[in-house]
Chain A
Amino acid sequence: MTRGYGRDPVGSPACDNVARAPHAFQLVVPSPRVPAVLTMPPSLEARQLTRRFGTFTALDHLTLKVEGTKCVGFLGPNGAGKTTTLKMFTDLIFPTEGEAFVNGISVQQDRRRALSSCGALIETPEIYGSLTPREALQLVGAVRGMSAADVRERTDRVLEQVKMTEWANQKVGRFSKGMKQRINIASTLLSDPDVVLLDEPSTGLDPRGVAEVRSIIRGLKGEGRLIFFSSHILSEVIDVCDEVILINRGKLLFYDTLANVNARLGSGATSVDAEFLRPIADADVARSIASLAGVTAWSRLDERRVTLTIQGGPEKRAEILQGVAGLGLGLVGFHESRSALEDVYLQEITTGES
């Protein structure tokens, strides 16, 4: 059963069984980069998308429409069906049933047109080792019909975005996995596509690279396009996404805005890890910290860290932080141990599996 955590997203009989974010029905004002001829916003749609591998159903009648210029996180545990879905959106694998649409064009019926304004990064592609990044991007630009001048200009720009300018003329075959992934991201963005599909784009990147990818995605959000990216890293999704879709075992569990997910749990209990400079005795915790208003339970992580269960929203957390800091116990860290999304994620996955 598909459901949203905000108001009921299914607003018209014609849209029964179609999971949409609440604001999908609102008028979407095209961004400045969308030409006037395109009166509708970029979109991705799955209609009864199903994929079976023998007796195993990797994706089970997924029906979903994502529309507008925003960033949507596609979440699920390993094996949930995320990559399978994205591969069907790019015609890398074929559906057993159903159809995938990019900007309203069926990928299965006309892959060229459907993918013409879509940049996709699926898994970790390899680029011909003897080509340089510049040449590989020239190939992408040529296939997409970009002019030589556009290719040059965009190549410089996207290589700068992924911090690979100084490697532009080196052969890709000598690159590390992380460097190749940066070039893959560059190739995805080269044609300035309206729809960007990213399948766990941080794979293979070092921590700095991961942070840079997030920064790139945040930058893309400001450029008025639909970004759809799969991940199993919740913090990544929280960091960059406006909306989130959760699937597990090939089934859609929910699709909603992050704001709605947070609002739903914002007034409930949250867990916070408090870290102290020195070991802290149980007696001190029980006497001083646990007695603060709003702290309903506590447990020890180790001799210097405790997890507090807090009833209330951000204001209550701020109040408790002030209270703990004022106790003079040497507080050095105070952060949420689980986000609202993580709570929903665990709850939905657990419910689904039971």
Chain B
Amino acid sequence: MSASSGGLADEPHVALGTMPGPVEQAFLMSRYQFRDYLRAQRFILMLAIVGAILAILLALVGHYPPPALIANGNAFFGSLWVGGSEILIIFAGIIFGGDSIAGEFQNKTGYFLMGLPIKRWSVYAGKYLAAYAASLVTILVYFVVLVGAGLYFVGSGAITTGLLGSVGLAALYLAALLGTTFLFSSMFKQSLYGVIIVAVMFLFGFAIVVDLIEGLVGITPWFIITWANVVIAYPLTGVPAGAGELIRNVALLPTLAQGIAVMFGYFLFTTLGGLALFGREEFT
């Protein structure tokens, strides 16, 4: 049936304004969603988690300065940045992404947005971008404080190009993890389910699955994101010996390229999956 089969003009009157394109609408959505995140208690909570982790780590380093840790920038950041950022990215995913889509149904905010002339993928993309930006802000707070601490404990040579590479990989991991949380969030109309699944899977579920696959099934768990995300450390620590090598059919560590490919694959396929689910979800 053609759009104009009703016999009306092809271009009906748009009441006021000229509608922006779907991409522009996605960015508009992200701007307001980001503003909402910045003002919400969850942002304060995330900053509190960042503050707590920083306080514990830096207090320990300050009180018991381990010589190996403060010997050079790569060692310092290879430990504190890599370990801290990985856990913070998981928390950010849970806090900003866990209820992102499910919340639209549960809290009925979707009724406010979806009555507007906007494509569903624009809403999804806008929310994703906002969650990514809010997560990045909190992780950058952690990064900036850690850089200051690195300069204090290690000296002016603390900042290396490896650190920037590691930050880039962490940003990719964040994209993949948020893609996954959005996918889980799209599966349910109750926020809690998405949050619990993301928390369980990323905090310990995937680690258990990796061990089981490696130990019992005897294959490389390349399809598990936590197998791949160890590459965040590589720019700082160097690629470990044996990365990518098969030992009894199992590669315990990925190469840098494998890690990047898996994380990118997670981002791509979970985002496509989430978009497909959200596109078919109904506001019943």
CB nearest to B41 among chain A residues: A130
Which of chain A's residues has its CB closest to B12's CB? Answer: A103
Q: Are B32 and A124 in contact (CB under 8 A)?
A: no
Known A-B contacts A43-B8, A130-B36, A194-B13; A116 and B111 likewise in contact (beta carbons under 8 Å): no
Closest to A131 in B: B36
Q: Could you say which residues of chain A place their CB within 8 Å of the CB of B12?
A: 38, 42, 103-105, 113, 116-117, 194
> Which of B9, B107, B112 neighbours the largest number of chain A CB atoms within 10 Å of its CB?
B112
Is B3 among interface residues, defined by CB-CB distance under 8 A? Answer: yes
A291 lies within 8 A of chain B by Cβ = no
Contact of A146 with B by CB under 8 A: yes
Is B63 in contact with chain A by the CB < 8 A criterion? no
Are the C-beta atoms of A191 and B17 separated by less than 8 Å? Answer: yes
- Which of the four size classes fits the interface of chain B? 35 or more
CB distance from B109 to the nearest CB of A (A): 5
Return the chain A residue nearest B123 by Cβ.
A143
A40-B9, A106-B1, A145-B19 as given contacts; A125 in contact with B29, CB under 8 Å: no
Q: Is A25 an interface residue (CB 8 A)?
A: no
Known: A116-B14, A128-B109. A110 touches B3 (CB 8 A): yes
B28-58 interface code vs A (CB 8 A; 1 in, 0 out)? 1100110110011000000000000000000
Compute how far the CA of A150 lies from the CA of B18 in the bound complex, rounded to whole angstroms: 12
Q: Looking at the complex, which of A84-92, A208-216, A330-338 is the stretch in contact with chain B? A: A84-92
Q: How large is the interface on A (under 10, 10 to 19, 20 to 34, 35 or more residues)?
A: 35 or more
Residue of A nearest to B39 (CB): A130
Q: Quick check: is A290 within 8 A (CB to CB) of the other chain? A: no
A168 touches B (CB below 8 Å): no
Asked if B116 and A135 sit within 8 Å, CB to CB, the answer is: no
Residues of B within 8 A of A154 (CB): 16
Known: A40-B8, A117-B15, A191-B16. A143 touches B109 (CB 8 A): no
B117 within 8 A of A: yes
* From B19, B108, B116, contact of A124 by CB (8 A): B108
Min CB distance B189 to A, Å, is 13
Residue ID in chain B nearest A30 by CB atoms: B13
In the assembled complex, the Cα of A125 lies from the Cα of B167 at a distance in Å of 39
Contact code string A113-138 (vs B, CB < 8 Å = 1, else 0): 11111111111111111110001101
Is the Cβ of B39 less than 8 Å from the Cβ of A105?
A: no
Given contacts A43-B8, A112-B119, A123-B111, contact A87 B283 (CB under 8 A): yes
Q: Min CB distance, B25 to chain A, in Å?
A: 6
Known interface pairs A40-B8, A93-B282, A113-B3; A127-B13 also in contact (CB < 8 Å) = no
**How many Å lie between the Cα of A177 and that of B174 in the bound state?**
37
A192 at the interface (CB under 8 A from B): yes
Q: Is the CB of A40 within 8 A of B7?
A: yes
Q: How many angstroms from the CA of A138 to the CA of B116 in the assembled complex?
A: 13
> In the complex, which residues of chain B have a beta carbon less than 8 angstroms from the beta carbon of A120?
115
Asked if B282 contacts A94 (CB within 8 A), the reply is yes
**Chain A residues near B284 (CB-CB < 8 A):** 53, 87, 93
Contacts of B249 in A (CB 8 A): none
Contacting residues of chain B (104-161) with chain A, CB-CB under 8 angstroms = 107-112, 114-119
A184 touches B112 (CB 8 A): yes
Which residue in chain A gives the minimum CB-CB distance to B283? Answer: A92
Contact between B117 and A111, CB atoms less than 8 A apart = yes
In the bound complex, residues from chain A placing their C-beta under 8 Å from that of B1 are: 47, 99, 106, 109
A146 touches B114 (CB 8 A): no
Q: Please state if B108 and A125 are interface contacts (CB–CB under 8 Å).
A: yes
Q: Residue A142 at the B interface, CB < 8 A?
A: yes
| Chain A hits for B109, CB < 8 A | 125-128
Q: How far is the CA of A39 from the CA of B7 in the complex (A)?
A: 11
- Tell me the bound Cα distance from A194 to B8 in angstroms: 14
Tell me if B19 and A37 are in contact (CB < 8 A). Answer: no
Q: Judging by beta carbons under 8 Å apart, are B8 and A145 in contact?
A: no
A–B complex contacts, Cβ < 8 Å, 22 sampled: A92-B114, A103-B6, A104-B4, A104-B7, A104-B8, A105-B3, A109-B3, A113-B3, A115-B115, A115-B117, A122-B111, A125-B110, A131-B32, A143-B28, A144-B15, A144-B117, A146-B16, A171-B39, A187-B112, A191-B16, A194-B12, A194-B15
16 further contact pairs, Cβ within 8 A, besides A103-B8, A106-B1: A90-B114, A93-B284, A99-B1, A105-B3, A115-B115, A116-B15, A117-B14, A130-B40, A143-B28, A144-B14, A144-B17, A145-B18, A146-B16, A150-B16, A171-B39, A192-B15
Interchain residue pairs A-B with the least CB separation, the first 4? A104-B8, A104-B6, A125-B111, A146-B17
